[in-house]
Amino acid sequence: MADKRTGKRVKNVRTTRKTAYNLDTLFQSFKAIKRAEGRAEGTLNQYEDNYGYFIEYLDRHDIKRSVKEITKDTIRDYIVYMRDKWIKFEDHKFKPEESMTVGLSPSTINTRLKTLRVMFKCLQEEGLMDSNPMEGIKNVSEPEEEIVVLTADEMKQLLNVPNQRHYAEFRDYVLMHYLIDSMSRISEALGLRHSDVDLVARIVTIPATIAKSRKSRTIPLQPVTARLLKELITENKEDFDSEYIFLTNYGEPITRDHFRNRLNEYAKKAGITKNVHPHLFRHTAATIFLESGGDIRHLQLLLGHADLRMVLRYTHLSKESLINQHEKYSAMNQITGKLNKPRKVKR
């Protein structure tokens, strides 16, 4: 009787085990887990971007996309490469050469590491990895630099730039108003739908699905902001079939990068030399809120932070305000008293 095995390929290595080591396959499993947990689409996209940077590094250094190849040393080498050798915007068609500087900022490096930290921890907890190469890996230390905010006058200059006769510029004008008034994150603003806005009561509900904290919150609006939102929504309904409020001129939701680029152009036209970006509206509005006498507990609710310490990190009182408060409330005013008053001295 002929042997049925003759001429057949002999299977010695388990295919499923081989697949289990594949980093791309594991990332897709991780992403599916986080989607099932209700992570916002923006967060999932950020996972995708940061994983892509890591894979780019592995490919450049001929490191296989296998968990068997990823060790703590791999991660540490990746950190050093990002800090000392990574060229910003390399191969980017629309970035000028002067923007392609060497080395990423500590905050950018830590953002990329955060995705790896969450991913490998998740995969280990799910039993898809035996060990976690991110365990014991610390963030790069970030210098506590003073965060610059815009003045009220600079805000006015910025708002004066968009030509409201053009749809895209009017949309930007409304979005800027909304960011200032609501102190929302840009991701929360761009994720807003018609059903989230009550223009009669002048309130916006940030759904838990798009809130970074995963908790919904309600934000009141000034009459001017509500009026502008109503005008934009009406404008959109005439030409577009979309539930989203902030759209491109072809009817798709605008992205944060697209809006950021447009902000840079407005800042140049307004003669503002500071780095103007979407999150700066949140910083600036929160700072002005406190300087005008707003209560920090109410600010905490508006910003959507569970921890008050996070509010203090997001708000940076201006030096001028600090000097004025010191002049007004310094203990020396009571201690020195009359000694500080001008005296007439006989010649």
Determine the pLDDT at residue 331: 75
CATH architecture of the domain covering 152-326:
Orthogonal Bundle (1.10)
State residue 345's pLDDT score: 59
Which CATH code fits 15-125? 1.10.150
> By the 8 A CB rule, do 285 and 151 touch?
no
pLDDT category of residue 334 using cuts at 50, 70 and 90:
confident
Phi, psi (rounded to 5 degrees) for 310: -65, -35
> Region 21-40: what's the mean pLDDT?
91
pLDDT of residue 39: 82
User: What is the residue-averaged pLDDT of the chain?
Assistant: 85
pLDDT for the residue numbered 211: 81
pLDDT at 301: 86
pLDDT band at 14 (very low <50, low <70, confident <90, very high): very low
Is pLDDT at 29 greater than 90 in this prediction?
Answer: yes
Above pLDDT 90, what percent of the chain?
56
Which pLDDT score, from 0 to 100, does residue 16 have? Answer: 42
Check residue 118 and give its pLDDT: 95
Examine the pLDDT at 62 and tell me if it is beyond 70. Answer: yes
Q: What is the pLDDT of residue 100?
A: 59
Confidence grade of residue 234 (pLDDT, cut at 50, 70, 90): very high
Cα separation, 65 vs 63, in Å, equals: 7
Q: What is the pLDDT of residues 181-228, one digit of tens each?
A: 999 999 999 999 999 999 999 999 998 888 877 788 999 999 999 999
Helix (H, G, I), strand (E, B) or coil at 219: strand
Please, is 160 exposed, middle or buried when counting C-beta atoms within 10 Å of its C-beta (0-12, 13-18, 19+)?
exposed
Highest mean pLDDT among 5-14, 171-180, 307-316: 171-180
Alpha helices in the chain (DSSP H): 15-21, 23-36, 41-60, 72-84, 106-125, 152-159, 167-182, 186-190, 223-239, 256-270, 278-291, 296-303, 308-314, 319-329, 332-336
HSE-CB at 223 with a 13 A cutoff on CA atoms is 0
Q: Name residue 214's amino acid.
A: R
Q: Where in the chain is the domain with CATH 1.10.150?
A: 15-125
The per-residue pLDDT for 15 is 43
Q: Does residue 112 have a pLDDT over 80?
A: yes
pLDDT at 17: 47
Q: Would you say residue 48 has pLDDT above 90?
A: yes
Average pLDDT over every residue of 104-122: 93
Where does CATH 1.10.443.10 sit in the chain?
A: 152-326
How close are the terminal C-alpha atoms of the chain, in Å? 133
- pLDDT of 305 > 60? The answer is yes
pLDDT for 64 beyond 60: yes
